[in-house]
Amino acid sequence: MNQTSTLRTPRIATMAEELVGSEIIKLAGEIKARMNQGEEIFNFTIGDFDPAIFPIPVEFSEEILRAYQNNETNYPPSNGMPELRAELASFMQEELGLTYHADDFLVAGGARPIIYAAFQALVNPGEKVIFPVPSWNNNHYTHLSRGTQVFVETTAHNNFMPSADELKEHVSDAALIALCSPLNPTGTVFSQEQLLSICNLVLEENARRGPEAKPLYLMYDQIYWQLCQPGTQHVDPVSLCPEMRQYTVYVDGISKALAATGVRVGWGFGPAHIINKMKAILGHVGAWAPRAEQVACAKYLQNRSAVRSYLIDIRQKAGERMTAIFEGCEKLRAKGYAVQAIAPKAAIYLTIQFDLVGKTTAQGEYLDSVEKVTAYLLNNAGLAIVPFYAFGSSRESNWFRLSIGTASMGDIPRMLDRLESALSELR
């Protein structure tokens, strides 16, 4: 026997061995490889932007170049450049009415390190983290913090936003509720009534625990809030319920609102004692945003008229694309096809249901799973979208995320034509 055939990979830490990679990134990579082979695929998988369609603001780009030309290339302070934190405090006060001091902000290399630090600061090993599914990456961050995952599966009835009643049975021994609005993957938002009920639930639970106990905290990811479509209102916990201030950590950044996913400037804000511990965690990780980008972001945010003009433009572009696809799906539904979508609310995502399990293809293949439906849409319509099970929902969920960040308006009618053709072949 060949000795090498009996060798086994040495064991490593259990957390790392059991960590699962992102299904979304894996799927997007497979799609990209097929596109590089020359296939025509309408790639709506990744939550990113095509810079040719959605460039970052010109004024921001100029400020980044200027900062590098001015040799802003040293280490930044571990909690972020003072001028940026001051500008963020001013911006949040003006735009959302949230009054926080510059020292209540922590800047990092995008929102992901902020989320990681919040989990590390608030969750002990074994403690429960409650989050709705579908949602983005809360399961992985819980795993990284050695917490216990509590999934609350939501439905289209509430636009996939969790209710206080759905969360209530889990809060008595939980450390953290992780929420996102507007929500990735659905692009839907909390109503004022929904979020206020959850805030009251947190306050009631913390009153029950008493002042000496570790509280139940809320992490509120609002990174898409500036991409709400007209008629959609963004709500947040502290604005609705000021008593939530001591229990709420916000997550925010420029990656989505400014189409700046690669620029890597995100921030969190909340109670100073929590933010200071998150700062210490990220100081050891070295997850700060580049100094030049921070300086540029502070300068750009001072130009409020440019910021508001850009946001109007990007919301319009995103809305045009989501509306065109939504209306196309509505026309397909009117023709009797098993398709329906939720009207666009916010972010860059459209939520679409393909109720195709149980159908048979023209080649005689029986579609007995959502995985096979996903493959059929890709192979026969060239439509690449992400099933909700990639965001933690059950594998029986027949809802999908469609991301429009790389979609040209000219491609949408052709995509809809190919989709109708593929659906018409099913029996």
Q: Which two tokens stand for residue 401?
A: 């995320």
In angstroms, the CA 271 to CA 247 distance is 7
- Per the domain annotation, does 6 fall within a domain? no
- Per the domain annotation, does 2 fall within a domain? no
Q: 387: part of which helix (H) or strand (E)? A: strand 386-387
With a CB cutoff of 8 Å and minimum separation 6, the contacts of 20 are: 140, 143
In angstroms, the CA 213 to CA 205 distance is 11
Q: Which two tokens stand for residue 253?
A: 């950044």
pLDDT value for 2:
54
**pLDDT tens-place string over residues 66-88:** 999 999 999 999 999 999 999 99
Q: Do both 292 and 259 map to the same domain?
A: yes
Q: Do both 287 and 191 map to the same domain?
A: yes
Is residue 93 within 8 A of residue 99, CB to CB? The reply is yes
The label of the residue with tokens 């170049």 reads 65
pLDDT value for 22:
74
pLDDT for 1 beyond 70: no
| Count of structural domains within the chain | 2
pLDDT for 39 beyond 90: no
- Per the domain annotation, does 350 fall within a domain? yes
Q: Do both 186 and 107 map to the same domain?
A: yes
In angstroms, the CA 358 to CA 367 distance is 6
Cross-strand bridge partners of residue 402: 350
pLDDT value for 125:
96
pLDDT value for 379:
93
CATH number at residue 25: 3.90.1150.10
- Per the domain annotation, does 3 fall within a domain? no
Q: Do both 293 and 365 map to the same domain?
A: no
Q: Which two tokens stand for residue 135?
A: 């949602």
For residues 310-320, give the mean pLDDT. 97
- Per the domain annotation, does 4 fall within a domain? no
**pLDDT tens-place string over residues 212-236:** 999 999 999 999 999 999 999 999 9
Is residue 183 within 8 A of residue 235, CB to CB? The reply is no
Q: Do both 251 and 151 map to the same domain?
A: yes
Q: Do both 201 and 321 map to the same domain?
A: no
pLDDT for 97 beyond 90: yes
Q: Do both 222 and 321 map to the same domain?
A: no
pLDDT value for 27:
78
Task: Please state, as a whole number, how many other Cβ atoms lie within 10 Å of the Cβ of residue 360.
Answer: 13
Q: Do both 284 and 371 map to the same domain?
A: no
- Per the domain annotation, does 7 fall within a domain? no
- Tell me the residue range of the domain where 344 lies: 12-54+312-424
CATH number at residue 170: 3.40.640.10
